[in-house]
Amino acid sequence: MTAPPWIDATYVKTQQAGRVVSVAVIIEVAINTDGVREILGIATGVSEAAPFWTEFLRSLTRRGLCGLKLLISDVHEWLKAGVVKVLKSAWQRCRALLLRNALAYTAKGQRQAVMAMLNTIFMQDNAEAISAEWRVVCDQLRAKFPRRADITLNVHKRATFTFSFMHSSICS
């Protein structure tokens, strides 16, 4: 793999015993050394609870996944715990999903400006510069777009973790 794998989950409707139910679907994707995306695993379950994530991660290790330093996903609390426990790896929030979430409640006319402000964070050269830029952007967002004030420094640490050891070679 040339970059850390990422995991995401969604819910789909499926028919079971003659009725339609919502089922969690997890997929893990990575980019191989040829630059091609590969599906490392896919599973379905009743919910995204801890046992489901833990078993999914264990199934990946049983099939040979090892040596991960970092796994990227959206904010799934049970997954974060499983990554540390099962894979003994670090976790980072997916930047693309962070940006998408930040824009979800932003008025259409403001999205381009908010996105431009957020993108300046990920253009920095080192972790210290990212932290400084994140604070500047948060202050600007609070002043110009009060509804986006929920972008906090706590989110920053989860979304920019890789800069401490890999810089921008990883773009989730």
**Same domain for 103 and 34:** no
Reference 159, options 64, 104, 109, 90; nearest CA is: 90
| Model pLDDT for residues 116-170, shown as the tens digit of each residue | 888 888 888 887 888 888 888 888 887 877 665 555 545 655 555 555 544 344 4
**Same domain for 71 and 103:** no
In a domain, 1, yes or no: no
The pLDDT of residue 1 is 57
**Same domain for 142 and 75:** no
Which residues sit opposite 34 in a β-bridge?
none
| Model pLDDT for residues 13-26, shown as the tens digit of each residue | 999 999 999 998 99
**Same domain for 107 and 80:** no
Residue 10 identity (one-letter amino acid) = T
Which residues sit opposite 8 in a β-bridge?
27
**Same domain for 14 and 87:** yes
Residue with tokens 């490392």, as numbered in its chain = 40
**Same domain for 87 and 27:** yes
Residue 111, pLDDT > 80, answer yes
Q: Map residue 87 onto helix, strand or coil.
A: helix
Residues found in the chain: 172
Domain of 30, in residue numbers: 6-92
| pTM given for the model | 0.69
CB 27 within 8 A of CB 51: no
Q: Which two tokens stand for residue 31?
A: 């980019």
Q: How far is CA 162 from CA 114, 116, 123, in A?
A: 23, 21, 13
The structural domain count of the chain equals 2
The pLDDT of residue 162 is 55
What is the Cα–Cα distance from 88 to 79, expressed in whole angstroms? Answer: 12
| Model pLDDT for residues 37-93, shown as the tens digit of each residue | 999 999 998 887 888 888 999 999 999 888 888 888 887 778 888 888 898 888 888
* Banded pLDDT at 27 (limits 50, 70, 90): very high
**Same domain for 116 and 86:** no
Q: Map residue 65 onto helix, strand or coil.
A: coil
In a domain, 58, yes or no: yes
**Same domain for 64 and 102:** no
Q: What is the mean pLDDT of the chain?
A: 80
Cα first-last separation, the chain: 14
